[in-house]
């Protein structure tokens, strides 16, 4: 099965570039930029990982971002992820980035996106990995800040395919960002939002994504299974759900294999993704292998999940056909 998974050309639709920041790179970049993070070695960084819920992960995730200072840093972060992706036989990616995590530290939007974009171009040329970037807003920051960043992104519109919403979901419902997402749609961006596993008010957040925001995809969305009408509506709209099994294991202590099977059975379109692979120590193939190990997934189930990723991707239909 390992070889089977490795041999399949795959797409990844839920990976945070800042979540691909490997401890060796955090350490080296912090040193090179004179940033004091308080760790003596890459091993000390890993030893500090203690993720058991979303906030405990996010605290560390934002702390490590301080090591990223220059355009070259963003280039190296992004290119290193694409090298990992190529090794996993990923041919297409829609990666997320979190500009507010950087502008809030005094790093310009241009520094961030120029570095990422150059790495995307080089990865397509040198590694054969194509990608389209998704800009995420941090939902624990204000709607005004999100709108400002939407404005900042407009000169780079051709480099960004869509917008998403991530960070701490508690008391930060989709509706808080309705005006921002309406404007983003009017500017031509595709729309997705995180509905993280087992967060407060999660089922109503997913309904808001459908009824008020009119998203074109849902990131995570595991808890939709608690509401039959919600599942039926997601299936009817053919909305993709970007599920992250190893990430879920950190939050709910299961790889959510039963939930993924339920979605397949209900005609929903789950896809498999790595989320923050450097922190969760699992890239995309590892996530598929977890389904085999912990849920005894068959080759045909794996194939269906891989096919779903291309189907619900934001590739042009003509480009999609080449992969399906
Ligand atoms: N959920 C919410 N915010 C995030 C995540 C996530 O899985 N990863 C990075 N930011
Ligand atoms: Zn995520």
Helix ranges restricted to H, the chain: 2-7, 23-33, 42-48, 54-65, 71-87, 100-103, 109-127, 143-153, 178-186, 202-208, 228-236, 245-252, 257-265, 277-280, 284-295, 299-311, 317-321
Candidate of 13, 14, 16 to mutate for ligand 1, largest count of ligand atoms within 8 Å of Cβ: 16
Residue nearest to atom 7 of ligand 1 (CA): 275
Q: What does the pLDDT average to over 119-137?
A: 98
Q: Which residues contact 201 (CB under 8 A, 6 or more apart)?
A: 173
Ligand 1 pocket check for 166: Cβ under 6 Å: yes
Does this model's pTM top 0.95? My answer is: yes
Residue 240 pairs with which residues in a beta bridge? 217, 269
Distance 167 CA to ligand 1 centre (A): 5
Residue nearest to atom 4 of ligand 1 (CA): 167
- Condensed to tens digits (0 to 9), the pLDDT of residues 47-84 reads 999 999 999 999 999 999 999 999 999 999 999 999 99
Q: Return the pLDDT at 6.
A: 98
Q: How far is CA 269 from CA 33, 221, 255, 297, in A?
A: 43, 11, 17, 16
Identify the band that residue 322 occupies on the pLDDT scale cut at 50, 70 and 90: confident
Candidate of 21, 165, 167, 170 to mutate for ligand 1, largest count of ligand atoms within 8 Å of Cβ: 167
Q: Return d(Cα 84, Cα 284) in angstroms, integer.
A: 9
Q: Which residues contact 230 (CB under 8 A, 6 or more apart)?
A: 203, 206, 207, 210, 224
Ligand 1 pocket check for 196: Cβ under 6 Å: yes
Distance 243 CA to ligand 2 centre (A): 9
Q: Return d(Cα 23, Cα 107) in angstroms, integer.
A: 21
> Domain coordinates of the chain in residue numbers?
2-24+71-321
Q: How far is CA 176 from CA 116, 146, 182, 215, in A?
A: 28, 10, 12, 14
Atom of ligand 1 at shortest distance to CA of 196?
Answer: 1
CATH class of the structural domain 2-24+71-321? alpha beta
- Condensed to tens digits (0 to 9), the pLDDT of residues 25-38 reads 999 999 999 999 99
Distance 164 CA to ligand 2 centre (A): 10
Candidate of 166, 222, 223 to mutate for ligand 1, largest count of ligand atoms within 8 Å of Cβ: 166
Phi and psi at residue 130, to the nearest 5° = -90, 150
Q: Starting from the CA of residue 57, give the closest ligand.
A: 1
- Condensed to tens digits (0 to 9), the pLDDT of residues 274-284 reads 999 999 999 99
Distance 303 CA to ligand 1 centre (A): 26
Residue showing tokens 């339920």: 262
Phi and psi at residue 162, to the nearest 5° = -165, 175
End-to-end alpha carbon distance in the chain: 21
Residue positions forming the annotated binding site: 14, 16, 194, 275-276
> What is the distance, to the nearest Å, from the Cα of residue 216 to the centroid of all Cα atoms in its chain?
15
Phi and psi at residue 107, to the nearest 5° = -95, 135
> What is the distance, to the nearest Å, from the Cα of residue 19 to the centroid of all Cα atoms in its chain?
8
Look up the ipTM and state it.
0.96
> What 8-state DSSP symbol labels residue 254?
S
Distance 166 CA to ligand 1 centre (A): 5
Q: Return d(Cα 49, Cα 72) in angstroms, integer.
A: 26
Q: Return d(Cα 60, Cα 46) in angstroms, integer.
A: 11
- Condensed to tens digits (0 to 9), the pLDDT of residues 152-170 reads 999 999 999 999 999 999 9
Q: Return d(Cα 170, Cα 196) in angstroms, integer.
A: 10
State yes or no: pLDDT of 323 exceeds 90: no
Distance 219 CA to ligand 1 centre (A): 10
CA neighbor of 84 nearest in space, from 165, 19, 28: 19
Q: Which residues contact 177 (CB under 8 A, 6 or more apart)?
A: 137, 139, 143, 146, 165, 213
Residue positions forming the annotated binding site for Zn(2+): 14, 16, 194, 275
Residue positions forming the annotated binding site for substrate: 276
């Amino acid at each position: 099965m390992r070889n089977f998974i490795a041999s399949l050309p795959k797409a990844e639709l839920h990976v945070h570039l800042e979540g691909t920041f490997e401890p060796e790179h955090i350490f080296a970049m912090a040193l090179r930029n004179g940033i004091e993070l308080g760790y003596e070695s890459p091993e000390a960084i890993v030893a500090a990982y203690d993720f058991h819920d979303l906030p405990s992960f996010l605290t560390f995730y934002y702390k490590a971002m301080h090591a990223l200072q220059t355009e070259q840093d963003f280039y190296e972060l992004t290119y290193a992820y694409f090298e990992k992706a190529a090794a996993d036989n990923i041919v297409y990616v829609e990666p997320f980035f979190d500009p507010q995590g950087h502008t809030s530290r005094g790093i310009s939007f241009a520094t961030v996106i120029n570095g990422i974009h150059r790495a995307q171009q080089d990865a397509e040329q040198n590694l054969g990995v194509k990608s389209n970037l998704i800009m995420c807003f941090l939902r624990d920051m204000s709607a005004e800040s999100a709108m400002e960043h939407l404005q900042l992104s407009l000169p780079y519109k051709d480099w960004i395919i869509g917008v998403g919403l991530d960070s701490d979901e508690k008391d930060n419902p989709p509706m808080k960002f309705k005006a921002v997402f309406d404007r983003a749609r009017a500017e031509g961006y595709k729309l997705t939002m995180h509905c993280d596993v087992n967060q407060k008010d999660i089922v109503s957040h997913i309904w808001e994504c459908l009824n008020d925001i009119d998203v074109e995809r849902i990131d995570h969305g595991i808890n939709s299974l608690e509401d039959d009408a919600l599942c039926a509506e997601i299936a009817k709209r053919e909305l993709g759900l970007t599920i992250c099994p190893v990430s879920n294991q950190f939050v709910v202590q299961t790889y959510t294999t039963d939930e993924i099977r339920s979605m397949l059975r209900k005609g929903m379109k789950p896809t498999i993704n790595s989320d923050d692979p450097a922190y969760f120590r699992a890239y995309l193939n590892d996530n598929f292998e977890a389904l085999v190990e912990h849920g005894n997934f068959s080759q045909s189930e794996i194939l269906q999940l891989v096919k779903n990723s291309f189907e619900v991707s934001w590739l042009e239909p003509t480009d999609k056909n080449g992969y399906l």
